[in-house]
Amino acid sequence: MSLETLSPFILSLVTFVPLGGAFFLTFFPRRDRDIRIFALVVSLLTFILSLHLPVHFHREHSEFRFVIDKAWISVPNIHYHMGIDGISLWLVVLTTFLTPLCVLISWNSVHERVKEFFILLLILETALIGVFVSLDLFLFYFFWEATLIPMALLIGIFGHERKVYAAVKFFMYTMIASVFMLAAILWLYAHTGSFDFVTIRDQITSGAIPNFSAAGEWLFLGFFLAFAVKVPLFPFHTWLPDAHVEAPTAGSVLLAGVLLKMGTYGMLRFNLGLFPEQARQNAWWIMILALVGIIYGALVAMVQPNMKKLVAYSSVSHLGFVVLGIFSFTQAGLNGAMFVMLAHGVSTGGLFMLTGILHERRHTYEIKEFGGLASPMPVYAALYLVIVLASAGLPLLNGFIGEFLVLSGAFQARPIYGILGATGVIWSSIYLLWMYQRVFYGKVTHSVNNSLRDLSGFEKWAIWPCAVAALVMGVAPIIWLAAIDPAVQAALTPYVHIASRVVMP
């Protein structure tokens, strides 16, 4: 097939098309409509290009595909090395799927500095995709840091009242945490002479690195801290609610939908991939922190008077599931963790968009300002219900599959983890449905809400794909899991004997 010839370049193309679009946009005249259309075209083009990846992906193989490996800088030995496997494949597609929706949802809500907004959005997309496709540790760190600036600026320029505080807090938290990862990467380079993920992994596995047994623990923690802050794992989560509440809708969508997944992806790829021994030793407290995150996040979400904060804390809870699944070292757990990442991206992305729509009309996120919205906004209410149910984990919608797999994995690892984790599912349906009830059911409590407009065209176009994706993912998860499963199996190879040991009580 002729499209196969694209394969060596497709990752570079998908990664840098948004950046190219951003570059063109800088020379655009300040005609807002044209800028929006151009941004939409670029992001849709990226999405279409990224569909090449799942179409031509050989699911049965677990090694990296679409690899491009070119020397970039000779000394130190840095390569432009990209490639994806089943773990990163869908995260790339998730990113390209959410970005056009972000453009649509921002169509009428961003009025000022429109050009800057879309430039930042497209730069952010490039950096996010780059994180998932990099196989060179240096390149990975390069993109990892590159996500900070556009995100911080999106929050700080286009956010709400306390935007500056939130932007600086977000930036400093993640920046300081990631320098520990840099130190660990530099250590690995100093002792292996390579930044290449595969080379380093092989050297660690074969025991070729001197002093590794002493330093391994610290390296593991260096990586882990950077990822844990990004996830965010309890107790590093305090930047998240601030960042979300202050961020513009599109910023929140990408923040929750993709940026947080950088952390869990990093854990899966690097903490598990490079340090199997250390991961096993540290799994117990990480799983406990994940459980605390699930339950604590859910309880705090329940008492939030602010809708957006509620959704933000629900992210802390959901991402706890992902971490729980990853460190269960079971096939089901890891498959589930991957699936929750994708499902959470779609459903929480949708929730943030829906919440943002309400904020645009009423300029508040306070739950008590609303009530009985189902009658003035029926379409909105219906779509909100679908997304809420998906997020709460109703069977046949996407949240259920992932959480179920994670919990069965956690149960295999240690039954008590599974049992405690399962309470999170209960909590999540309580806080989500309770919020839904207060906002949508009953009589309209504030008369201003009677005149609220239902969804506009652009908004419908932004929400419908999320709702459809939530349904399809819930009905036919095999489409996604077929690619994820072999990759997960390969990731678990060093843990085979471990897994069986943990399963035995």
Whole-Å CA distances, 132 to 99, 154, 444? 15, 21, 45
Q: Quick one: which of 8, 76, 378, 415 contacts other proteins (CB under 8 A)?
A: 76
Query: Is residue 172 involved in binding other proteins (CB under 8 A)?
Result: yes
Nearer to other proteins (CB atom), residue 42 or residue 152: 152
Distance CA 96, CA 90 (A): 10
Question: Closest approach of Cβ 12 to other proteins, in Å?
Answer: 15
Give the binding range for other proteins (CB under 8 A) out of 171-179, 272-280, 283-291, 462-470.
171-179
One-letter amino acid at 316 equals V
Query: Is residue 175 involved in binding other proteins (CB under 8 A)?
Result: yes
End-to-end CA gap in the chain: 51
Query: Is residue 382 involved in binding other proteins (CB under 8 A)?
Result: no
List alpha helices for 363-394, DSSP H.
Answer: 378-392
Distance CA 454, CA 349 (A): 19
Q: Quick one: which of 187, 434, 458, 461 contacts other proteins (CB under 8 A)?
A: 187
Q: Quick one: which of 68, 149, 288, 292 contacts other proteins (CB under 8 A)?
A: 149
Query: Is residue 400 involved in binding other proteins (CB under 8 A)?
Result: no
Question: Closest approach of Cβ 342 to other proteins, in Å?
Answer: 27
Question: Closest approach of Cβ 185 to other proteins, in Å?
Answer: 9
Distance CA 278, CA 25 (A): 46
Query: Is residue 73 involved in binding other proteins (CB under 8 A)?
Result: yes
Report residue 227 CA to chain centroid gap: 12
Give the binding range for other proteins (CB under 8 A) out of 183-191, 350-358, 419-427, 470-478.
183-191
Question: Closest approach of Cβ 81 to other proteins, in Å?
Answer: 16
Q: Quick one: which of 171, 265, 275, 352 contacts other proteins (CB under 8 A)?
A: 171
CB atoms within 10 A of CB 241: 23
Query: Is residue 217 involved in binding other proteins (CB under 8 A)?
Result: no
Q: If you ran DSSP here, which 8-state letter would residue 493 be given?
A: G
Query: Is residue 422 involved in binding other proteins (CB under 8 A)?
Result: no
Distance CA 344, CA 218 (A): 31
Nearer to other proteins (CB atom), residue 152 or residue 432: 152
Query: Is residue 8 involved in binding other proteins (CB under 8 A)?
Result: no
Total residues in contact with other proteins, by rule CB under 8 A? 34
Phi-psi category of 371—alpha, beta or left, where left has phi over 0 and alpha has psi -120 to 50?
left
Query: Is residue 299 involved in binding other proteins (CB under 8 A)?
Result: no
Distance CA 244, CA 240 (A): 6
Hey, is 161 helix, strand or coil? Answer: coil
Q: Are 123 and 22 in contact (CB under 8 A)?
A: yes
Q: Are 350 and 463 in contact (CB under 8 A)?
A: yes
Distance CA 170, CA 333 (A): 30
Nearer to other proteins (CB atom), residue 130 or residue 402: 130
Q: Which residues bind other proteins (CB under 8 A)?
A: 72-76, 113, 141-143, 145-146, 148-149, 152-153, 156-157, 163-164, 167-168, 171-172, 175-176, 178-180, 182-183, 186-187, 189-190
